[in-house]
Amino acid sequence: MAVITHAHTRPETDYYALPATLQDAFDELMEQADQAGTTDHFLTLMARAASLTGIRLPASGDIRRCACSCICGCIFDAEDPDAHVIEWTDGYNLGRLQCPTCHDRHSETA
């Protein structure tokens, strides 16, 4: 079955379109990245997560699953200028980010 990709050029993919085993593996890598002690380790985990999900690794080397409260499975470039920071977390690597689409879609109510 063909995978339908979005027509835009952003490196994005849908978490919920992934098989459950890949979702688990992705979560696992994100958890490890959250606690990675070095930038090298962090970027290695991000690169693995990207190749796992089939997303094109962005120049930032940093991808994130949307942390929006709506049911959004968007995995996107964490340094996309249109992404929206919900919360920076203390002591961990991964802040909570909203994907550009959600930021667009919900900004009137935010």
Instruction: Report the interface residues with Zn ion, using CB under 5 A.
Output: 66, 68, 70, 72, 74, 99, 102
**Between 65 and 93, whose beta carbon lies closer to Zn ion?**
65
CB of 76 to Zn ion, least distance (A): 8
Considering the complex, what minimum distance in angstroms separates the CB of residue 31 from Zn ion? 20
Looking at the Cβ atoms of 36 and 53, the one nearer to Zn ion is 53
Q: How far apart are CA 78 and CA 45, in angstroms?
A: 14
Neighbours of 75 (CB within 10 A): 25
Supply the minimum distance, in Å, between the C-beta of residue 64 and Zn ion: 10
Is the Cβ of residue 20 or residue 70 nearer to Zn ion in the bound state?
A: 70
Q: How far is the CB of 1 from Zn ion (least distance, A)?
A: 24
- DSSP output for 32-86: HHHT-SSHHHHHHHHHHHHHHHTPPPPTT--EEE---SSS--EEEETT-TT-EEE
Nearer residue to Zn ion within complex by CB, 5 or 35: 5
| 12, containing H or E segment | none
Q: Tokens 């379109």 identify what position?
A: 17
